[in-house]
Chain A
């Protein structure tokens, strides 16, 4: 038998509902440094992330790239919207190296858990960010 939360995927936690009602960093960045679009052909959800990268000088004079701004656009269910919204709050202002290591598990955990059928929504968010960072690096070359 399936897990009970698997059978009622739309029964969201308060935290998820909060992001659905008030998505953070929703929208578009004009002239972004990187864009990543990821979709799930099965369910039909599509996510797009825009990132703006800046250099920062660390203590020892070393340069480091960090995500100065990030915005998302999502066509999808509540979990997809909440995952993308949560992800943006997790990586905004963070060094690129750290941001690209964000896993779907970390996103789901930050949301207080997602039902198994909604896990792929957090995968979409993590993958869209990887694509946006790859796009930035490609453009930089």
Chain B
């Protein structure tokens, strides 16, 4: 059977060039970077070279790059780490984020709320965009951190990160003139690496997180960018590694692989955006045309090139996934039935999509390897699956 992978937003395949770069560090160059001998030295060189590669792509200094375990760990280190400093120095206890963040951010906020922090969750419009004016209004004297994702992984909506960064900088300037403290700006950029400019300087973020497996790198390795002068505290202890912010022997092969993947993503970004956007639009157009009662979710234009997300009315998401899977197509859904929590995706809910409609949510996410004939195959077989499932449903339910 033909197999078509359209779940790149969940994880990407490892780029063969990345695997090749990693291999020596699994085998002959297996040393511990902290060792004094030649094995250790070559491993240390690899780690520090990787740090330089990453810094070059992010447009920052190597000393501003920390290697961690995953995006989630980076999110935790950034948010909890900044919160710890704020508490210790009595800087304030108010945090701001959006209601459509990844759980890697949302759950950290909720945990901090239980530890005496106050949190504001900014609402989004029907397309998933936050309003910068609302952000401005939400800022209080005791605000210490703002965390807004670069772009949403479920519906692809890209937040105005540049504008948000500028706004926060202006507010920070006034605050510092008044002898008040700076608000930190964190952004989870996990979903965007293959397609958006990551230069930290341009977007004005103080803290940024990414994870390698979303852009052709290996699983189990992430990055936290910490701008010079930004203070965070470590969450775990056990050594000098990553200057004490993420102690533990460095995962050398994974670090090397991630740096290689990031370099490739940066080099091939323009081509990827062009190619994937075209295929995504072909898929969106094809689905909307051939599946009655279907609609696009997320922003119509300010969206990631790889995300084609829909609501298919009168069908449940998981059953669509299982039927797509049986014809070899991989996709994803935010329906309550797939969540394990019996609740529809918080992203769709925040966008004002009622639970009844979120029931029929479906996301195809494309990758650099996606081919036109794969998209056409989906457009060919998907309407039949929807029709079959709708036929299976009790009559009149669609409009109830």
Q: How far is the CA of A44 from the CA of B355 in the complex (A)?
A: 7
Does B359 contact A23, Cβ atoms closer than 8 Å? no
From B87-95, B170-178, B197-205, B333-341, give the one contacting chain A.
B333-341
Does B337 contact A75, Cβ atoms closer than 8 Å? no
B340, B343, B344 interface centre (most CB from chain A within 10 Å) = B340
Q: How far is the CA of A26 from the CA of B395 in the complex (A)?
A: 13
Q: How far is the CA of A17 from the CA of B389 in the complex (A)?
A: 15
With A44-B359, A75-B314 in contact, do A20 and B319 touch (Cβ < 8 Å)? yes
Q: Does A48 belong to the interface (CB within 8 Å)?
A: yes
With A21-B326, A45-B316 in contact, do A73 and B340 touch (Cβ < 8 Å)? no
B107-133 near A? 1/0 per residue, CB < 8 Å: 000000000000000000000000000
B352-377 near A? 1/0 per residue, CB < 8 Å: 00011001000000000000000000
Q: How far is the CA of A6 from the CA of B340 in the complex (A)?
A: 6
**Chain B residues near A46 (CB, 8 Å)?**
393-394, 397
**Chain B residues near A88 (CB, 8 Å)?**
none
Contact size range, A: 20 to 34
Q: Does A110 belong to the interface (CB within 8 Å)?
A: no
With A8-B340, A43-B359, A45-B316 in contact, do A77 and B335 touch (Cβ < 8 Å)? yes
Which secondary structure dominates chain A's binding surface?
mixed
Q: How far is the CA of A73 from the CA of B323 in the complex (A)?
A: 17
Q: How far is the CA of A74 from the CA of B388 in the complex (A)?
A: 11
CB distance from A93 to the nearest CB of B (A): 23
**Chain A residues near B395 (CB, 8 Å)?**
28, 73
Does B319 contact A10, Cβ atoms closer than 8 Å? no
Q: How far is the CA of A46 from the CA of B390 in the complex (A)?
A: 12
Does A10 contact B394, Cβ atoms closer than 8 Å? no
In B270-286, which residues have CB < 8 Å from any A CB? none
Does B340 contact A47, Cβ atoms closer than 8 Å? no
Does B397 contact A78, Cβ atoms closer than 8 Å? no
With A43-B342, A44-B356 in contact, do A10 and B318 touch (Cβ < 8 Å)? yes
Q: Does A117 belong to the interface (CB within 8 Å)?
A: yes
Contact of A7 among B326, B340, B344 (CB under 8 A): B340
**Chain B residues near A73 (CB, 8 Å)?**
392-395
Q: Does A9 belong to the interface (CB within 8 Å)?
A: yes
Contact of A44 among B316, B338, B339, B340 (CB under 8 A): B316
Count of B residues near A, CB < 8 Å? Answer: 29
Q: Does B181 belong to the interface (CB within 8 Å)?
A: no
CB distance from A23 to the nearest CB of B (A): 7
B25-38 near A? 1/0 per residue, CB < 8 Å: 00000000000000
Q: How far is the CA of A24 from the CA of B400 in the complex (A)?
A: 26
Q: Does B230 belong to the interface (CB within 8 Å)?
A: no
Q: How far is the CA of A99 from the CA of B395 in the complex (A)?
A: 25
B337, B338, B389, B392 interface centre (most CB from chain A within 10 Å) = B337
Q: How far is the CA of A14 from the CA of B313 in the complex (A)?
A: 28
Does A78 contact B319, Cβ atoms closer than 8 Å? yes
Does B316 contact A77, Cβ atoms closer than 8 Å? yes
Q: Does B9 belong to the interface (CB within 8 Å)?
A: no
Q: Does B10 belong to the interface (CB within 8 Å)?
A: no
With A43-B337, A77-B337, A117-B342 in contact, do A48 and B394 touch (Cβ < 8 Å)? yes
Considering the complex, give the chain B residue whose CB is closest to the CB of A16. B322
Q: How far is the CA of A26 from the CA of B326 in the complex (A)?
A: 19
Does A74 contact B394, Cβ atoms closer than 8 Å? yes
Considering the complex, give the chain A residue whose CB is closest to the CB of B318. A77
Considering the complex, give the chain A residue whose CB is closest to the CB of B360. A44
Q: How far is the CA of A39 from the CA of B316 in the complex (A)?
A: 13
**Chain B residues near A8 (CB, 8 Å)?**
340
Contact of A75 among B315, B341, B343 (CB under 8 A): B315
Q: How far is the CA of A12 from the CA of B319 in the complex (A)?
A: 12
B positions within 8 Å CB-CB of A: 314-319, 321-323, 326, 335-344, 355-356, 359, 389, 392-395, 397
- What are 22 A-B pairs with beta-carbon distances under 8 A? A9-B339, A10-B337, A20-B319, A20-B322, A20-B323, A42-B355, A43-B336, A43-B359, A44-B316, A73-B392, A73-B394, A74-B393, A75-B314, A75-B316, A75-B392, A77-B318, A77-B338, A78-B322, A78-B337, A80-B337, A81-B319, A117-B342
